[in-house]
Structure 1
Amino acid sequence: MRNEMHRDAAGQTTTIRPRTEADLPGAAAALVAVHAVDGYPVEGVDAPLEWLSPAGVLQAWVAEKGGEIVGHAMLSRPQGEDAVEMWLEQSGDTADHVAVGARLFIAPEARGEGLGERLMRTGFDYARDHRLRVVLDVMTKDKTAIRLYERLGMQRLGTARHAYGEGQEIDAVCYVSPAPEA
């Protein structure tokens, strides 16, 4: 995948590119800042480097602006997520045709520039090129993310309860990416 560059109105360049190991500390710092503002994620902030590197990662991307990591997204292999189970049940598809969208966030200072959409479209392109459908869940409290996913044409599969921490739960909406164009 080539790097995607965009220059904002102030002339500053933002690049969407594959994540490297060297990007993890910057991505972790951005994640902690996001959590302080939004409460996202509901888990993982105590160990952000590990949370950003779960088992089964297919590909991850970062948004870099002014030498700083200001956004992140990833696709991973299914590992029993509710959204995956809903999609498989509703579609009759198999898990080897599914990628799980995860770990999407934009640092507070970089919001409003379309970076979340650019990161998601990069993930959709990867999925299309690998003949995968993207499924994900989003907590109902994360209204901005829900608006993004629906604006991108993701189809709502249903709702689930996301368990985290010690016996805590929160409602989540499950989505699947649009069908690839024929």
Structure 2
Amino acid sequence: MKPATVRPFEDDDLAGAAEALTAVHASDGYPVEGIDDPKAWIRSADVLAAWVAEADGQIVGHVSVMRAYGEDAVAFWTEQSGEPATHVAVLARLFVVREARKQALGERLVQAAVSHARAHGLRLVLDVMTKDRSAMRLYERLGWREIGRASHRYGADQSIDAVCYVSPDA
């Protein structure tokens, strides 16, 4: 596989991103929701901006910056920082297919999202399910700081423990 490039998401990327998401779900169990309609989950109306990683003409990774709408991480950060929720966005829908890992694509995708947020005066927060240890290691290595713990609810009365993070200072 040739080295991947990270670039802004385009409408033509939706099918490939949905295929990559389905592959990541099969290999890693991520995400726990949205897999029934991956195109709608990726292209949610709450997406402010998104990027993809592309290699050999295939979408192999994705990340979004999303409008805050009451997530636990948003509540933790606004309470701790005093910042209004209008200055907070959520880093979400980060995934890289197994075959494209070890190219720092997760890091490059996160960096694209953080740069966008900073340019727009936004602070990023997120939550990671405790089962997703490699994602937690990535965020911590990139300087994200734990701001709380919550229970991520999904599906029909299902939940899983999650750790909430805030992006590093500019």
Partner of 2:131: 141
Segments of 4+ moved more than 6 angstroms = none
Cα-to-partner distance string for 1:22-80 (whole Å, 9 max, x where unaligned): 10100000000000011000011110000001122110000000000000000011011
Cα distance in 1 between the residues matched to 2:76 and 2:88: 12
Partner of 2:159: 169
Q: In the alignment, is the contact (CA less than 8 A) between 2:149 and 2:164 conserved in 1?
A: yes
SS in 2 for 1:141: coil
SS in 2 for 1:122: helix
Normalized against structure 2, the TM-score is what?
A: 0.98
Q: 1:93-104 alignment to 2 at 5 Å?
A: 93-104=83-94
Cα-to-partner distance string for 1:152-178 (whole Å, 9 max, x where unaligned): 000100100000000000000000001
Pick the aligned partner of 2:35 from 33, 45, 55.
45
Give the aligned residue type for 2:164. Answer: C
Partner of 1:21: 11
Gaps of 5+ in 2: none
Does 1 or 2 have the higher relative contact order (CA < 8 Å, sep 6+)?
2
**Residues 1:80 and 2:32 are matched in the alignment:** no
Q: Percent identity?
A: 59
Cα distance in 2 between the residues matched to 1:54 and 1:161: 22
Cα distance in 1 between the residues matched to 2:4 and 2:99: 13
* CA-CA distance at 1:13 after TM superposition: 3.5
Pick the aligned partner of 1:121 from 99, 111, 120.
111
* CA-CA distance at 1:86 after TM superposition: 0.5
Pick the aligned partner of 1:68 from 58, 80, 83.
58
Aligned length: 170
Q: In the alignment, is the contact (CA less than 8 A) between 2:27 and 2:98 conserved in 1?
A: yes
**Residues 1:112 and 2:102 are matched in the alignment:** yes
Pick the aligned partner of 1:92 from 69, 82, 89.
82
Normalized against structure 1, the TM-score is what?
A: 0.92
Q: In the alignment, is the contact (CA less than 8 A) between 2:114 and 2:167 conserved in 1?
A: yes
Q: In the alignment, is the contact (CA less than 8 A) between 2:3 and 2:103 conserved in 1?
A: no
Cα distance in 2 between the residues matched to 1:65 and 1:134: 27
* CA-CA distance at 1:128 after TM superposition: 1.0
Gaps of 5+ in 1: 1-9
